[in-house]
A and B are shown apart, each in its own frame.
Chain A
């Protein structure tokens, strides 16, 4: 296998592992901005996102009861979607072999 492919597969596998398995153990405390908004008092001005009822809202798959499974599946979908979209974007932008800068 080419060195380049090996590196890509290792990085992709690590991303899948982090998003599917490790994500379950992530802290559920509010993040920096949310905490500041709570402490100061402007958290109430937040509106629910228009797609808050989406199938994948808040990194869970709607209808999947098991939290570990729900977060893991959402993570896998996110990683595959991000990899797909960004790889297509960057491959279409790149200079082809022999093309000058």
Chain B
């Protein structure tokens, strides 16, 4: 999913870098009100864990691999603002230290993974949580579907960038079909890892899980009414 230099032209890369920078700036503000003494260390740990798991490519189909993006996972654990920042730190480390993802493509990659991945993942998590029974185990189930959906959504972000500034001339429809179908498969892996990780934190420290606090608040309001 990490876009190398050259796929997308420089003007488009710069434009997306601008959007990505704006998203990160807003998230810096948002994270300030959502992080406290207890959750700030968890946000750092989430970025660390995602970096590690992103190294673990798993095979999906003939000659293709995928790895966790972690946007949905991070948003559920620490909230979408801190998650956007966590993913951005991971992408910067990968681009700057490990030459994973082009330097001119950092804005493109932040847009797809830190913005689309996180916010699509978080949005689907909230929607899915609504239709599931209001109990603890539903959080991990919602994490599965949120993870699953976030990957083809991020892949569609690349197709948007390709449509605007792709340096090759293959049809956008062809790229869209191939990107989405491949990334639905990778999304299944994403969903499984997200559900496992969220399930593990729910089992040990559910008090830290951002996406679970909402559930408790709803219950509190009802008990008072």
Contacts and interface: CB of A to CB of B under 8 A. Distances in A.
A90 B51 contact: no
Interface string B60-82: 10011111000000000000001
B41 A16 contact: no
A101 B153 CA distance: 32
Interface string B180-222: 0011011000000000000000001100100000000000000
Interface of A: 3-4, 7-8, 11-12, 14-16, 18-19, 22-23, 26-33, 35-37, 39-42, 45-52, 54, 56-59, 74-75, 77-79, 81-83, 85-87, 89-91, 93-97, 101
A47 B64 CA distance: 21
Main secondary structure of the interface of B (DSSP, over half): helix
Interface stretch (B84-92, B119-127, B129-137, B142-150): B84-92
Contacts of A96: 37
B99 A90 contact: no
A57 B65 contact: no
A49 B37 contact: no
A27 B64 CA distance: 9
Contacts of A32: 1, 60, 64-66, 155, 179, 182-183, 185-186
Interface string B31-72: 111011111111111011101110111111001111100000
A31 B64 contact: yes
A83 B99 contact: no
Contacts, number: 217
Interface of B: 1-7, 28, 31-33, 35-45, 47-49, 51-53, 55-60, 63-67, 82, 85-86, 89-90, 92-103, 155, 158, 166-168, 170, 174-175, 178-179, 182-183, 185-186, 204-205, 208
A45 B167 contact: yes
Contacts of B166: 42
B4 A27 contact: no
B45 A83 contact: yes
Contacts of A77: 97
Contacts of B103: 49-51
B38 A19 contact: no
A27 B1 contact: no
A3 B41 CA distance: 13
Contacts of A54: 97-99
Nearest to B63: A29
B135 to A, nearest CB: 23
